[in-house]
Amino acid sequence: MRNPGVDKIEVGLSDFYLVDDIHGIYRGMMIAIPPVHWQCFEDFTLNQMVDILQHLATKVHLKSFRKHPRSPKKKRSPLLVDGKHPHCSTARKLKQYKATLDAIP
């Protein structure tokens, strides 16, 4: 049985913001912290790694990764059509112009 909190997080959490944050922090950590300091994690068992990651996950502020739902689309005003001056595309005008040039001997 799934935890209702997990479902709530999956619905309201923005994957984009989360991945962007992790990507930026990872890049900074790789620059600021020498590789020798990461070697302690090599000897961790799976359970130890799970415990550490769960502990770190409790420190994440999920509100900063919320989705921003789209606002409803705005209604477009109806297209105003002038019967005296119907629309004519530029391509059509050019085609007519070329036809008149070809008609001239």
pLDDT digits (tens, 9 = 90+) for 3-49: 666 676 677 888 888 899 999 999 999 999 998 998 988 999 999 99
- For residue 41, give every residue at least 6 positions away whose Cβ sits within 8 Å of its Cβ, in sequence order, or none: 49
- Report, as an integer, the average pLDDT of 79-87: 81
Q: Where are the chain's structural domains?
A: 4-65
Q: Cα–Cα distance between 26 and 20 in angstroms, integer?
A: 10
List Cα–Cα distances, 58 to 30, 48, 62, 87, in angstroms: 22, 16, 10, 61
Select from 65, 68, 70 the least CA-distant residue to 15: 65
